[in-house]
């Protein structure tokens, strides 16, 4: 895999652990935390969460998983757009810090754009940095026009987290090149698609057979095939976690990429930004 660094030189793991839908059932939380802890032990030290996930429940699961190991983790969380104002963002950040049982969030993102002006959100993020509450800030689900609105070359906006997988390739037309030119990694959420349909595609099955791998590993390796992308799949159990890990060293061949492009054509024009 290609090494990833933020614009200020901070190294960031290329493959992480997502937490969407974790923490929704109290009975599952111990097992969910155990899976995240196993991921840490296996080297998946980036964990992505959000105040939206299970109304903070996912952040509580993450807190249990990283207890006693906080220094090993690159911790990412996200704020609701309605909480992105100068007054409300510090309050939302404090709630996330309490749920995560940590003093600082490594990367804090605007989850998607709402009615708060982006300039106000950026100023509030920088104030949180100055106060030592967050180390870096970024955005999620923002398109090129939104990023341009933030202004300049985005020297301190660390990332844009977007939907990116074989079925959702629109960002390749303009967003990925735009971010790469500014040394701003893109974080790919839902890299395995939704409801399993992507992983049942015959083209993925054929590539997986050639690679002696699973379709999920192929789909993940595809998101990591070029510089500038961090992939954050969720792993709901140990087997899924180990499957995800298997993608780290996979090198897709030109034949593999041609077959995947034929099945999932790259964009030839600007497309609306896909979101979940």
Q: First vs last Cα of the chain: how many Å apart?
A: 27
Alpha-carbon gap, residue 3 to 125, rounded angstroms = 26
Reduced to 3 states (helix: H, G, I; strand: E, B; else coil), residue 15 is strand
Strands (E), the chain: 4-5, 11-12, 17-18, 46-48, 74-79, 105-110, 134-140, 157-163, 186-189, 229-231
Q: What token pair was written down for 222?
A: 């595809």
What value does the mean pLDDT take over residues 116-122?
96
Catalytic choice (53, 108, 164, 189): 53
**What pLDDT does residue 218 have?**
97
CATH superfamily entry for domain 11-195+229-234? NADP-dependent oxidoreductase domain (3.20.20.100)
CA distances from residue 207 to 4, 44, 61, 222, 251 in whole angstroms, order as listed: 26, 25, 35, 11, 11
Does the pLDDT at position 1 exceed 70? Answer: no
Give pLDDT tens digits for 24-66.
999 999 999 999 999 999 999 999 999 999 999 999 999 999 9
C-alpha count within 13 angstroms, C-beta hemisphere, residue 259: 17
pLDDT band at 162 (very low <50, low <70, confident <90, very high): very high
Q: Residues 236-241: what's their mean pLDDT?
A: 84
70 confidence band (pLDDT: 50, 70, 90) = very high
Is 108 marked active-site?
Answer: no
pTM: 0.96
Q: Tell me, what's the pLDDT at 106?
A: 98
Burial pattern 224-246, b for ≥16 Cβ within 10 A else e, equals beeebbbbbbbbeeeebbebbbb
Percentage with pLDDT > 70 across the chain: 99
Q: What is the pLDDT of residue 236?
A: 75
Domain ranges of the chain: 11-195+229-234
pLDDT in tens, 128-145: 999 999 999 999 999 999
């Amino acid at each position: 895999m290609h090494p990833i660094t933020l614009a200020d030189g901070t190294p960031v793991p290329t493959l992480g652990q997502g937490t969407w839908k974790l923490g929704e059932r109290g009975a599952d939380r111990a097992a969910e935390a155990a899976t995240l802890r196993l991921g840490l032990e296996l080297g998946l030290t980036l964990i992505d969460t959000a105040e939206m996930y299970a109304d903070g429940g996912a952040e509580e699961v993450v807190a249990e998983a990283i207890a006693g190991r906080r220094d090993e983790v690159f911790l990412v969380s996200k704020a609701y757009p309605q909480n992105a104002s100068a007054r409300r963002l510090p309050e939302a950040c404090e709630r996330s810090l309490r749920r995560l049982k940590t003093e600082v969030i490594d990367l804090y993102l605007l989850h998607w754009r709402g009615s708060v002006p982006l300039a106000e959100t950026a100023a509030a993020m920088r104030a949180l940095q100055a106060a030592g509450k967050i180390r870096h800030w970024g955005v999620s689900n923002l398109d090129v026009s939104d990023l341009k609105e933030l202004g300049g070359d985005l020297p301190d906006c660390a990332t844009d987290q977007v939907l990116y997988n074989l079925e959702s390739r629109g960002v390749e037309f303009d967003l990925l090149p735009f971010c790469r030119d500014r040394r701003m990694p893109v974080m790919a959420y839902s890299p395995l698609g939704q409801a399993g349909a992507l992983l049942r595609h015959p083209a993925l099955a054929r590539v997986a057979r050639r690679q002696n791998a699973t379709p999920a590993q192929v789909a993940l390796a595809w998101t990591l095939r070029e510089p500038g992308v961090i992939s954050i799949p969720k792993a709901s159990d140990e087997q899924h976690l180990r499957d995800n890990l298997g993608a780290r060293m996979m090198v897709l061949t030109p034949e593999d990429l041609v077959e995947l492009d034929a099945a999932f054509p790259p964009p030839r024009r600007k497309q609306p930004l896909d979101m979940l």
